[in-house]
A and B are shown apart, each in its own frame.
Chain A
C-alpha cells in the first residue's frame, strides 16, 4: 500500500472520530454552505488532504436524494441535509434547534415512532408517516432511523432518513384503479363473448330467411334491418374487446418522439383544417421507452382526436416530454417484474386549450360507454387507460372548464414484464 493511501485511511478514521465528537453536547450549527473544519482539526496532517476528505463526506450527505436529519438524545435537531430542508420547505437554519417531534403531523404518530427510535438497537424501516411542511400542509414520507454512537459506542443521538412518498402513493392509487379496470375488463370480455354467440345465431337465421323470401321485397327489407342491427351490436362489442382484452404488448425500446411525430403526421391535415396549432417541447437526451409502439400510437391517436374534438373553434395542442427517476423503497408494482430495480419514466404531457371537462364528469370519463359527445361509443379513454396499464405505464388527467385538459402519460424506460 502506498504511503499516500495509508495516510488517507488514517485520516478517514480520524475524521470519523472528529465528526461524532461534533454532535456531542455542543451542536454545530452550520451557518454557511462552505464550512471549514475548526483549526485544531489539522493536527499536523496535510490541510489539503483533510479538506478533501471532509468535503467528500459533506458532499456525500448533502447530495443524497433522501432527507437526512440528526438529533441529540433530547430530540433537538443538530444536522439537516439539503434534501431534508427542501422536502419540508424550510431552509436548513430554520430546522436546526427544532425538536424532531415537531416534524410529525400527528402527536400520536410522533410519540409512537420516537419511542421506538430511542430504544437501544431499535430501527425504523420504511415506515410510512405524515410529516408537516413549513406551510402546515402534510406529506407522506417513508422513514428509516438509526442511532448515532460516539467513539466509545455511547448512544448520543438518532439519524432519520426519509423520502417523499406522495408521488409513489399517487402512482399506487392509479395502479389500483387500473387493476380494477383490468379485472372489470376480464369479466366484461366473458360477457361480450357470450353475447356474440346468440348474435351469430340471429344473423345466420336472418340470412336464411332472406334467401327464402326473395320474392317478397318488403320481407327482404325488414330482414336487412335485422342484419344491420346485429352488425352494429357486433361492432360495439369488437371495440369493447379492445378495452376488455387488449392484445399482449410486443415490448421493445422505442424513441417516444418518433412515435409522437408519426401520430402528428397522420393527424396534421385535421389539425390544419380545424385551425389548431401543434407545439412540441421535447427534452434532450431522453431515454427510450420500453413499450409496444403500436399500442402507444393508438393511445396518442385517441388522445389527439379527443383534443381536436375539444377545440372546434381552433386552439393549441402541446406535447411535452421529460424523464424522471423514481426511487421506490419497496416495490409497489406487484403486477410487474422490474429488472435491476431502476425506475426511470418518460413523461408525455398532452395539453389542449379546449373546453375542458366538468368536475362532476372527471371520475366517469374512464368508465366504458360514458360519453358526452353525439358520436362515438365512449370507449376511447378506457381503452387508452387499459393500453397504458398493459405497458406498465400510468395515465393522469387534469382539466378545467374553459381552460383545457392536460393528460400526462408516464411510460417505463426500463425492461419489465407483466406477471
Chain B
C-alpha cells in the first residue's frame, strides 16, 4: 500500500482556503490535506510533515509566499510548489519561476484547473 500523498494549502484568505480544501479532500487520489493561514504556520507544518505539493499565496502578513517557496525548496527540493496570487505582474511571475515554482496561477482561477494540475503533479 502506497503512502497517502500530502498537500498543504497556505493562504490568509479563509474563504478560498475552505473551497480549495473541499475540492482536494474529494480527489480520486488518497491525499491528506492540511491548511495554514500564514507563512509561519506553514513552516511549522513543514517541520513535521513531508508534503508532496504546497499551494501558497504570495501576499501574506509575515513571511510572504515567495520567501516561503525559497525556504521549502531549500529544505525539501522534491516538494512541488504552486504559487497563487492576486498580483498580475510579470516580475513576480519571473521571481516565482526563478525560485523553483511549478506553476504561477492568478486569482481568481478555475477551481477545476488547479485540481487537474494537482492530479497531474501527484501522478
- Chain A residues with CB under 8 Å of chain B are 193-194, 196-205, 207-208, 230-231, 234, 238, 241, 245, 247-248
Indicate if the CB atoms of B16 and A196 lie closer than 8 Å.
Answer: no
Across the interface, B108 reaches (CB within 8 A) one of A193, A194, A196, A247, namely: A196
Across the interface, B111 reaches (CB within 8 A) one of A197, A203, A231, A234, namely: A203
Check: B97 CB closer than 8 A to any chain A CB.
no
Chain A interface helix/strand/loop/mixed: helix
Indicate if the CB atoms of B108 and A208 lie closer than 8 Å.
Answer: no
Q: Which residues of B contact A207 (CB under 8 A)?
A: 19, 110-112
Check: B89 CB closer than 8 A to any chain A CB.
yes
Q: Which residues of B contact A194 (CB under 8 A)?
A: 86
Q: Which residues of B contact A247 (CB under 8 A)?
A: 89-91
Indicate if the CB atoms of B16 and A200 lie closer than 8 Å.
Answer: yes
- Could you name 20 residue pairs across A and B whose Cβ atoms are closer than 8 Å? A193-B59, A196-B106, A196-B108, A197-B13, A197-B86, A197-B107, A198-B15, A199-B108, A200-B16, A200-B86, A201-B19, A202-B15, A203-B108, A204-B111, A205-B15, A207-B110, A207-B111, A230-B108, A231-B108, A245-B89
Task: Give Cα A202–Cα B19 distance, bound, in whole angstroms.
Answer: 9
Q: Which residues of A contact B112 (CB under 8 A)?
A: 207
In chain B, what residue has the closest Cβ to A205?
B19
Q: Which residues of B contact A204 (CB under 8 A)?
A: 15-16, 19-20, 23, 108, 111
Task: Give Cα A196–Cα B108 distance, bound, in whole angstroms.
Answer: 6
Indicate if the CB atoms of A198 and B13 lie closer than 8 Å.
Answer: yes
Q: Which residues of A contact B90 (CB under 8 A)?
A: 247
Q: If A193-B86, A208-B23 touch, does A200 touch B108 (CB 8 Å cutoff)?
A: yes
Residues B68-121 near A (CB distance < 8 A): 84, 86-91, 106-112
* Distance (whole angstroms) from the CB of A242 to the closest CB of chain B: 9
Indicate if the CB atoms of B108 and A202 lie closer than 8 Å.
Answer: yes
In chain B, what residue has the closest Cβ to A245?
B89
* Distance (whole angstroms) from the CB of B53 to the closest CB of chain A: 17
Given contacts A194-B86, A201-B16, A207-B19, 7 further A-B contacts (CB under 8 A): A196-B107, A200-B86, A200-B109, A201-B19, A204-B15, A204-B16, A207-B112
